[in-house]
Structure 1
Amino acid sequence: MTNRRRFLGGAAFLATCGVRMGGAVEASDEERTVDSPSDGGLPIVDTHVHLWDLDRLRLPWLAGGGPLARNFLPDDYREAAEGLDVVKGVYMEVDVDPAQHPDEAASVVELCRRGGEPLVGAVIGGRPASDAFGAYLDRFRESPEVKGVRRVLHGGETPPGTCLQPEFVRGIRLLGDRGLSFDLCMRPGELSDGAKLVDACPETSFILDHCGNPDVQAADLSAWRDDLSRLADRENLVCKVSGIVASAKPEAWTPDDLAPIINHVLDRFGPDRVVFGGDWPVCTRAASLRQWIGALNVVVADRSLADRKKLFHDNAIRVYRLMG
């Protein structure tokens, strides 16, 4: 059980972060305590920022509609991050129609170069198994803003074992040759495939997104815990503490619901191989960016200041090769 400083009551936590059990509100200055998400004094590098303009990009996974089926633009992110001391951000590809990968990448490189934005780097979408993957990467040889590539591996068009196909492995090795990383985003039941891929590409740096995608509401996380523990032995892999709040029960979760996953990741990967990611706006399925950061601060409150600074800032600078 967490201690008083971490003030576990779910209602108290939500009120402090600006939420009541009927909807979102702004927290007043009086409501913000030392444990509120904006206090910390720690600068934040958000390694997982999604943006999309549906007037320009096609996102097949949003075809069914829903709260996320609208534009989320840089001004919207700045509003969501206001007061949170986000000093840098890394754009994360948004699983667009593959034909639009070059357009998506070019637009975000331009955004990073504009200045005045939190975004200073990008992980772009790509298809590592494609024969044209090398030529695609060549487009960005003079774009240091491009830090890596991601291919989402948990969609219906990517059956188990996709990442172990020889063509896919070849493409991931090519990333290592180019000094680029790969964000590994996959179903939790396939983490053993992830381990095999990492082993097959020792010169490539990997970032495991969303703690390996466990379901916060799952009754039994033992298989995920075991698989993640084995995966954590790979030294060319770090883990991104992100995404998990999206699977929490909306308006009914507390930091305690997230703590077992977060603490297992931090304990197994250690303080030097973890980074923070907001996963905005996907996190808004259950929490605002402020609530997610607030909850994470609550969970890690008893860890050392040095380790918390590594999680929220220092490791991201190194892992994504950002300017300090």
Structure 2
Amino acid sequence: MLPLIDCHQHLWDVTKFKLPWLPASGVLARSYVLDDYRQAIVGTGIDRSVYMEVDVAPEQQTAEAEHLIAICKSGTAPTVGAVISGRPGDEAAFKKYIAQFKDSPQIKGVRQVLHGDSTPAGFCLSPAYVKSVQLLGEMGLSFDLCLRPGDLADASQLADKCPDTRLILDHCGNADPKAWLSATRRGDQKPDHTVEPWKKEIAEIAKRKNTLCKISGIIARVTKEWSADDLAPIVNHCLDSFGPDRVIFGSDWPVCLLGAPLKAWTEALRQIVAARSEAEQKKLFSENAVKYYRL
């Protein structure tokens, strides 16, 4: 089994941090801490991880970052780096905020979720936002893009405006596997987008050499009965568009539990890419993560 580096690990402790988006009930409505993650990765091949911010209350962003730096420094956790929260739209405040971490090698990048009600299409293209993302490139940090499928054109435009910043497209552009299913299979579950516009925008983003695609997230949106074949068109289009040198793996744990356990996701992905060369699989599973996150 080829080892995996998980480039999209979430952790949250509701006794320490406020997550305004967290539902009041359901599988996500509790803490998910390192001991839970250690149990979840048993049998998956995951041996290291990069934390992904969890959209804590804005006043807790610095505390979240410091918490993750401490975890990474401990040497006792699989977590070896962190992508932290940030609000690039406020240029002055963001510059002051991110400067705190210029000498922290554990910090690898920044993300702001861009598919919420307060972030309409084009939100990341304002002059202030663009300057903040350019600053990340100057600091050697990446920016994760988590966009609605209908807003994927924003990723191409931001990549053009920030050619020296590495942009990482989360969750295969938030592709919805139900878009590939027949009406019978998906029932009354309407997909968030149609197939061809998504495919076109993914291919367009991939033309920008400062972009990467994270093969993650799609498992959270499967129907109750699913198989690797339901995910294969998404994964293969992303791999073929971006090529073997610009793709990385992410678990999206514990959000993946909305669809299936983490082990089921890793098994499905291994099945999907089994026909690809071992060299390509190694790049997707771990080598690209080591390269781009400087692990």
Aligned partners of 1:65, 1:128: CA distance in 2, in Å? 31
Aligned partners of 1:87, 1:314: CA distance in 2, in Å? 13
Q: 2:164 aligned with 1:203, yes or no?
A: yes
Question: How far 1:87 moved relative to its partner?
Answer: 2.0
Structure 1 residues 43-93: Cα deviation after superposition (integer angstroms, max 9, x where no partner): 111000000000111111114432101000000000000132322110000
The residue identity in structure 2 corresponding to 1:222 is: E
After superposition, residues 19-30 of structure 1 pair within 5 angstroms as none
Match of 1:31 in 2: none
Unaligned runs of 5+ in 1: 1-39
Q: 2:239 aligned with 1:266, yes or no?
A: yes
Match of 1:51 in 2: 11
Structure 1 residues 140-196: Cα deviation after superposition (integer angstroms, max 9, x where no partner): 122100000000000111111100111111110110111100011111111111100
Match of 1:146 in 2: 107
Which of the two has higher C-alpha Rg? Answer: 1
Match of 2:274 in 1: 301
Match of 1:134 in 2: 95
The residue identity in structure 2 corresponding to 1:182 is: F
Q: 2:76 aligned with 1:116, yes or no?
A: yes
Aligned partners of 1:319, 1:244: CA distance in 2, in Å? 22
Aligned partners of 1:95, 1:108: CA distance in 2, in Å? 14
Aligned partners of 1:140, 1:177: CA distance in 2, in Å? 13
After superposition, residues 166-181 of structure 1 pair within 5 angstroms as 166-181=127-142
Q: Aligned match of 1:316 in 286, 289, 294?
A: 289
The residue identity in structure 1 corresponding to 2:143 is: F
The residue identity in structure 2 corresponding to 1:239 is: C
Match of 1:164 in 2: 125
What secondary structure is seen at the aligned counterpart in 1 of 2:178? coil
Match of 1:287 in 2: 260
Q: 2:210 aligned with 1:236, yes or no?
A: yes
Greater fraction helix: 2
Question: How far 1:138 moved relative to its partner?
Answer: 1.4
Aligned partners of 2:19, 2:203: CA distance in 1, in Å? 33
Figure out how many residues of one structure are paired with residues of the other and give that number: 281
TM-score normalised per structure 1: 0.85
Q: Which runs of 4+ in 1 moved over 6 A?
A: none
Q: 2:154 aligned with 1:193, yes or no?
A: yes
Contact 2:84 2:109 in 1 (8 A): yes
Unaligned runs of 5+ in 2: 181-193
Aligned-CA RMSD value: 0.9
Aligned partners of 1:320, 1:100: CA distance in 2, in Å? 24
TM-score normalised per structure 2: 0.93
What secondary structure is seen at the aligned counterpart in 2 of 1:148? strand
The residue identity in structure 2 corresponding to 1:227 is: E
